[in-house]
Amino acid sequence: MVAGIPKTVLHLHIEGSLEPELAFVLAERNSMAPGSQGFPYESLDQLRAAYRFADLGAFLDVYYAVAGVLRTEDDFHALAEAYGRRLQAEGVRWAEVFFDPQTHTSRGIPFDTVVRGLQRGFASAHAAGIHVALVLCFLRDAPVGEPAELQAASSADGFASMDQATAWATLGQLLQHRATDGAKVPNVPIIGIGLDSYEKPYPPELFTDVFEHARARGLAATAHAGEEGPPQFVWTSIRELKVSRIDHGVRSTEDPELMAFLAQEHDTPEIVAAYGRPHRIPLTVCPRSNYMLKVFPDPTRSNLLELLDAGVLACIHSDDPAYFGGYASDNYLAVIDWLDPSWAQLRQLARNGVLAAWGTDAAKQPLLDDVDAWFSRWMP
Ligand code: ADE
Ligand code: ZN
Longest CA–CA span in the chain (Å) reads 60
Cross-strand pairs, 195: 138
Q: Is 320 in the pocket of ligand 1 (CB under 6 A)?
A: yes
Q: Is 15 in the pocket of ligand 1 (CB under 6 A)?
A: no
3 state DSSP class of 122: coil
- Specify the higher pLDDT residue, 309 or 163: 309
pLDDT digits (tens, 9 = 90+) for 33-84: 999 989 999 999 999 999 999 999 999 999 999 999 999 999 999 999 999 9
pLDDT of residue 155: 47
Average pLDDT over residues 123-132: 97
Q: Specify whether 203 is located in the same domain as 334.
A: yes
Residue 159 pLDDT grade (very low, low, confident, very high; cuts 50, 70, 90): low
pLDDT at 327 over 50: yes
**Ligand 1 atom showing the smallest separation from residue 320 Cα:** 3
pLDDT of residue 157: 55
Q: Specify whether 175 is located in the same domain as 308.
A: yes
Q: Specify whether 64 is located in the same domain as 74.
A: no
Q: What is the CATH number of the domain that holds 152?
A: 3.20.20.140
Q: Is 227 in the pocket of ligand 1 (CB under 6 A)?
A: yes
- Quick one: which ligand is closest to 245's CA? 2
pLDDT at 298 over 60: yes
pLDDT of residue 164: 76
Average pLDDT over residues 203-214: 98
Active site residues: 227
- Do the domain assignments include residue 380? no
- N- to C-terminal Cα distance for the chain? 14
**Ligand 1 atom showing the smallest separation from residue 15 Cα:** 2
pLDDT of residue 270: 98
Alpha helices by DSSP H, 90-166 = 101-105, 111-121, 123-127, 149-152
- Do the domain assignments include residue 167? yes
Instruction: Kindly state the percentage of the chain with pLDDT values over 90.
Output: 92
Q: Specify whether 49 is located in the same domain as 156.
A: no
Q: Specify whether 53 is located in the same domain as 188.
A: no
Residues with CB under 5 A from ligand 2 (ion): 319
Residue 282 CA, distance from chain mean position: 14
pLDDT digits (tens, 9 = 90+) for 237-289: 999 999 999 999 999 999 999 999 999 999 999 999 999 999 999 999 999 99
Q: Specify whether 52 is located in the same domain as 168.
A: no
Q: Specify whether 121 is located in the same domain as 256.
A: yes
CA-CA-CA-CA torsion for 25, 28, 34, 38, nearest 10 degrees? -110
Residue 197 alpha carbon to ligand 1 centre in Å:
5
* Domain limits for position 162: 2-18+70-368
Is pTM beyond 0.85? Reply is yes
Q: Specify whether 203 is located in the same domain as 317.
A: yes
Strands 314-316 and 245-248, how do they pair? Answer: unpaired
- Structural domain total, the chain: 2
DSSP string, 176-189: HHHHTHHHH-TTS-
Contacts of 333-341 with CB under 8 Å at 24 or more apart are 333/2, 334/287, 334/288, 334/291, 334/299, 335/287, 335/302, 335/304, 336/2, 338/287, 338/291, 338/299, 338/300, 338/302, 339/300, 339/302, 339/304, 339/305, 341/305
